Structure 1
Amino acid sequence: MQSTPQQRFINYVRDPEHSRRIVSPFLPYPDVIRGSLELLGIKPPDDPFTAEIALSQALDYEPMFMTSCSDLIFPWVLCPDRSTDETDCYVIETCNGEWVRNVSKRLGIWGDESGFPVRTEEDHQMLWDVCAQVGDRTDAIREYYRSFRKMIGENGVIVIGHPNPSWLGFQIGQSNAFLHWMDFEDVYRRSIKAVYDASLVVMKIAIEEGIDFMSNCTYGLEITSMKLYQEMDMPVLQDYAEWTHQNGGLFWYHNCGQTSKLIMSGFYNKLGADVIETISPPPSGDNDLAESRQYIDRSICTKGNLDLGLLKDGTPDQVIEATRMMVEAVRGYPHIFSTADAVLPGTPPENYIAFVKTAREYI
């Protein structure tokens, strides 16, 4: 009986020496999927998940899909009557009253730090309250993961979204994170623990409902420092990996920034991760794949690292050459051939197809 994409992917991570090598682009944007199907003469399904499954079957790759996680811990509800022309108002009800955030309609949550709800020391109490309430939502969380697994079936692997406790589940902006850590570290550590504990409630359900990989992400050295990475990020990552393995799962670590010093310092070998992505090249990262891979233990499966800018703006011939170079850079190492982060909107279908076909044929 022919193995499924899900089985092939997991078999490779667990036993790369005796398994077929994996090609798995990182979350291609729906317009890229649709355009690629049309270029292949296949009518795209309306549902984006079904569409990528169809594309992966046509091009013989193993897709990965990502669920929510932090959104299940922090279930913000849009309040249209309290929104304005400039901002959207969101609310979470807690035992101590409403927690409110206002997000710029023009800039979005990542374009304006004022939209992150943890801005003062007092805001941490609201975060603790919301995290403590996650147990009240377990039925809805379970139904979400069960439905996601049913939708994907065995046509790909599913990775849980990154809870990111070090950055408080994406409830604090980058500058405030550092300021709060410096000004009231004990409070910040309690918030990290609150998000971590809440995420384990979610992850336990996810594993029970067949989600393949637990995961977490952190920033690279373009934002954090070696010292802060050791103090803020590594303990959480190690705890996640240990917990995941104790519960029979696989742990996936994502960092798409500047990571070469972290890798060469041996930090990645201490995390306990089964899959590490994306070993990003310049300009988003600072890795030479062949060099960095030598510093990562052979028991760890790396994933990446085709440059997104080249994939979007280069020619098919350039994409083919870069893909061949990527394959050669990791000869003899367990590696999943992918991109340096999520495939950008507007990426030409010709380039996407060239990447996938070359990776599959050349490995």
Structure 2
Amino acid sequence: MTSRERLLSVLRGEMPDRVPISPFVQEEYLSYYFNKKNTSRLHDAIALSKELGFDLITRQYINPTPYFLQRDFENWKVAVTKEKVEDNYIRTTTITTPEGELKQVEGAEYNEKILAGIHFSTIKYMLQSQEEFEIFKKYCPKREKQDDDHILGSGVEAREAIGDLGITCPWGIGGVYNLVATYMDVQDMLCDALTDEEYYEDYMNFFTDMVVDEYKVLAGSEFDAVGIQGNIANGAIMSNEYFDEFVLPYEKRAIDILKEAGKPTVYHNCGNAKILYPSYKKSGITVWETVSPKPQGDNTLEEAKEYFKDSLILSGNFDQINFLKTASADEVEKAAYEQMMTGKKGGHFIFSCSDYLEIGTPLENVKALIRGASQAAKY
């Protein structure tokens, strides 16, 4: 089987010739590996998979910035400033509407080589009150044809570029909860659901509609699957009952668009998830990544395999932070072999790490990871 055939077989719930081996790579590691400032999650990831010999799942951001923050619309003026303040990189986004300004301020440690893929932390949320949300809701523009064409064109480009090396799986605009938590403090969201349910339902439905509109486009694209960010609503901050009542209905409404179109989904929660296992079964997702072990998460691969069986596909769970970066190559190879022996039982498994490969990971350890997994991958 080619890598593409192998991955598609797994997504269909079938048993391929061997378990796909697909480390999660994004700008940070690609910038580090290729030693260049501007990097592509598509083309550089393809080059990396050719060099190291793994089954590629491209995880590019089609729109690192959502359409409504990319440009001006009627009654919606966008201004973005970026500045280096001491050792920090500060990005300020200001939206000007007829009824006032909305402002988001984000910061990150300054690293010139990975500015394209930098992970920001929010300093000031754009929507801190119901009044600000009402302004956002009233003036936030609708998608335009050029936004849909960009997604469709990106799907064609990605499919042609990757060939038989793997599958294309971009990030969409969000899981619903993650998208809302980009512009609202999650602590407020947790309380709103209990103390002001009408307001909570209003903004959750508004952003769900936004996600649904994009998923309808992705459903008709040439992308093989769609990545869904789901790490904010995790088992460390909410119970299974809370998730089922206040998160799952919105996530599922969006996921159903892709499911009904036959487009596989890869749902990402790289943290605590054990108490959410029943919800994940009900969600309709195709793949759950990343089955993260302690201390990043609370999952073990053996337990997850036993619980989910063939109800969904698992991706993970090699520790790329505390082990892959610090262990010897021999230790990595042995651990990868052992994890593969656990994960491949019964199929429905993609070998990967508990999140993306990090800067500073020794190349010999990445090669050992792939080598050890490959030795046990065949069915």
TM-score bracket for this pair, using the shorter chain length: 0.7 to 0.9
Deviates more, 1:66-75 or 1:278-287: 66-75
Report the 3-state secondary structure (helix = DSSP H, G, I; strand = E; otherwise coil) of the residue aligned with 2:121. Answer: coil
**Is 1:142–1:206's contact at 8 Å kept on the other side of the alignment?**
no
Report the 3-state secondary structure (helix = DSSP H, G, I; strand = E; otherwise coil) of the residue aligned with 1:204. Answer: helix
**Is 2:151–2:217's contact at 8 Å kept on the other side of the alignment?**
no
- Which one-letter code corresponds to 1:258 in the other structure? N
| Pairs within 5 Å for 1:199-278 | 199-216=211-228, 217-218=230-231, 219-263=233-277, 266-278=278-290
| Alpha-carbon distance between aligned partners in 1 of 2:106 and 2:55, rounded to the nearest angstrom | 36
The residue that corresponds to 1:158 in the other structure is 168
Q: Is 2:128 aligned against 1:119?
A: yes
Deviates more, 1:100-109 or 1:316-325: 100-109
**Is 2:219–2:257's contact at 8 Å kept on the other side of the alignment?**
no
2:46 pairs with one of 50, 53, 59? 53
User: TM-score, length-normalised on structure 2?
Assistant: 0.81
**Is 2:28–2:358's contact at 8 Å kept on the other side of the alignment?**
no
2:142 pairs with one of 122, 126, 134? 134
Report the 3-state secondary structure (helix = DSSP H, G, I; strand = E; otherwise coil) of the residue aligned with 2:106. Answer: strand
Deviations 1:165-196 (A, max 9, x none): 22416212222222333342211211111111
CA 1:62/1:84 → structure 2, altered by over 3 Å: closer, same or farther?
closer
Deviations 1:234-288 (A, max 9, x none): 223332332212123112211111112222xx33221211111111100001112
CA 1:171/1:321 → structure 2, altered by over 3 Å: closer, same or farther?
same
How far the C-alpha of 1:328 sits from its partner, in A, is: 1.8
| Alpha-carbon distance between aligned partners in 2 of 1:46 and 1:111, rounded to the nearest angstrom | 22
User: TM-score, length-normalised on structure 1?
Assistant: 0.84
Q: Is 2:154 aligned against 1:147?
A: yes
How far the C-alpha of 1:320 sits from its partner, in A, is: 1.3
CA 1:58/1:146 → structure 2, altered by over 3 Å: closer, same or farther?
same
| Alpha-carbon distance between aligned partners in 2 of 1:347 and 1:146, rounded to the nearest angstrom | 34
How far the C-alpha of 1:335 sits from its partner, in A, is: 0.3
How far the C-alpha of 1:299 sits from its partner, in A, is: 3.7
Q: Is 2:95 aligned against 1:92?
A: yes
The residue that corresponds to 2:69 in the other structure is 75
CA RMSD, Structure 1 to Structure 2 (Å): 3.1
| Alpha-carbon distance between aligned partners in 2 of 1:48 and 1:238, rounded to the nearest angstrom | 28
CA 1:287/1:142 → structure 2, altered by over 3 Å: closer, same or farther?
same
The residue that corresponds to 1:353 in the other structure is 367
- Corresponding residue pairs, total: 349
**Is 1:70–1:169's contact at 8 Å kept on the other side of the alignment?**
no
How far the C-alpha of 1:297 sits from its partner, in A, is: 3.5
The percent identity for this pair of structures is: 21
Deviates more, 1:288-297 or 1:216-225: 216-225
**Is 2:62–2:154's contact at 8 Å kept on the other side of the alignment?**
no
| Alpha-carbon distance between aligned partners in 2 of 1:95 and 1:249, rounded to the nearest angstrom | 40
The residue that corresponds to 1:318 in the other structure is 331
How far the C-alpha of 1:70 sits from its partner, in A, is: 7.6
2:25 pairs with one of 24, 27, 51? 27
The residue that corresponds to 1:293 in the other structure is 305
More helix by share: 1
How far the C-alpha of 1:346 sits from its partner, in A, is: 1.3
The residue that corresponds to 2:205 in the other structure is 193
Report the 3-state secondary structure (helix = DSSP H, G, I; strand = E; otherwise coil) of the residue aligned with 2:276. Answer: helix
CA 1:159/1:97 → structure 2, altered by over 3 Å: closer, same or farther?
farther
